[in-house]
């Protein structure tokens, strides 16, 4: 008699044990609209980390750079280099966009892996990297679409839309489709990678609570960095693509 209820209970137990609160959110109501509070809180922390470290390091630049300034100069050169490679001529104005994209995603991803969010208990859901919420990744992908449209239109005017019938008008549907797949792939790639990484770590920790998850955690750090780089590089590539003259 008790077999079936117990099996359900066991199922629920396994679900609980795995500790994976996938898609669990702490909701706040703002003007009748819901908002994922845990994402908002962690994104504030990420922004605070970014702004704080930048202010401390670059407040008073020295001709011979000190440690922190040296690091941020290196980061800036890295971003400039990335933008230059992808966008080419006239990359200057896009450096803040690409740079903020890279830094925000990078710090978000690493905060999910390095900061002990789980010490802070929420009534519902849990704190994690802001980028493991689809809202965040879409919120980063849509400005990218807007950015490359803006880049193309400001560079070439309405002639920008000529690219839709390049190289032949037959490709028009595919070219239009591309404008939808670009933000979609950007957002889902980042979301999927970060969520999957956190899930793998959590599940592995619940199964083998020592040593074994450590390589996966390092892999997670690596993946997080790579994802930030990919997002920023692709955003820059899209902008560069819409700015270059079509052949």
Tell me if 175 sits within 8 A of 163, measured CB to CB: yes
Distance CA 243, CA 150 (A): 9
Tell me if 39 sits within 8 A of 133, measured CB to CB: yes
Tell me if 120 sits within 8 A of 135, measured CB to CB: no
Shortest distance in whole angstroms from residue 58 CB to other proteins: 5
Name the residue nearer to other proteins (CB basis): 167 or 209.
209
Name the residue nearer to other proteins (CB basis): 9 or 154.
9
Sign of CA dihedral 133, 134, 137, 139: negative
Q: Which residue has the tokens 């490709």?
A: 171
Shortest distance in whole angstroms from residue 180 CB to other proteins: 16
For 141-170, b where at least 16 C-beta lie within 10 A, e where not — what string? bebbbebbeebbeeebeeebeebeeeeeee
Name the residue nearer to other proteins (CB basis): 34 or 154.
34
Shortest distance in whole angstroms from residue 222 CB to other proteins: 15
Shortest distance in whole angstroms from residue 184 CB to other proteins: 12
Name the residue nearer to other proteins (CB basis): 44 or 161.
44
Name the residue nearer to other proteins (CB basis): 23 or 157.
23
Name the residue nearer to other proteins (CB basis): 84 or 163.
84
Helix (H) or strand (E) holding 58: helix 37-58
Distance CA 16, CA 21 (A): 8
Shortest distance in whole angstroms from residue 246 CB to other proteins: 28
Which candidate, 227, 222, 217, 220, places its Cα nearest to that of 186? Answer: 227
Shortest distance in whole angstroms from residue 15 CB to other proteins: 7
């Amino acid at each position: 008699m008790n077999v079936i209820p117990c099996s359900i209970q066991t199922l629920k137990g396994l679900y609980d044990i795995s500790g994976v609160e996938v898609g669990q959110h702490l909701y706040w109501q703002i003007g009748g609209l819901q908002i994922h509070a845990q994402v908002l809180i962690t994104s504030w922390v990420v922004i605070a980390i970014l702004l704080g470290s930048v202010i401390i390091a670059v407040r008073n630049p020295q001709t011979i750079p000190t440690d922190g300034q040296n690091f941020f100069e290196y980061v800036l050169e890295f971003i400039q280099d990335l933008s230059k490679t992808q966008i080419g001529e006239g990359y200057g104005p896009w450096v803040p966009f690409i740079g903020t994209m890279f830094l925000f995603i990078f710090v978000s991803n690493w905060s999910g892996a390095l900061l002990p969010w789980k010490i802070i208990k929420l009534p519902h859901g849990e704190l994690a990297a802001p980028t493991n919420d689809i809202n965040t990744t879409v919120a980063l992908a849509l400005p990218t679409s807007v950015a490359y449209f803006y880049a193309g239109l400001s560079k070439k005017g309405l002639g920008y839309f000529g690219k839709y019938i390049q190289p032949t008008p037959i490709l028009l549907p595919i070219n239009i489709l591309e404008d939808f797949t670009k933000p979609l792939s950007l957002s889902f790639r980042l979301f999927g990678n970060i969520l999957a990484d956190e899930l793998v770590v959590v599940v592995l920790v619940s199964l083998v609570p020592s040593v074994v998850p450590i390589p996966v955690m390092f892999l997670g750090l690596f993946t997080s960095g790579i994802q930030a780089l990919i997002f920023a590089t692709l955003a820059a590539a899209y902008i560069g693509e819409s700015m270059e003259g079509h052949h």
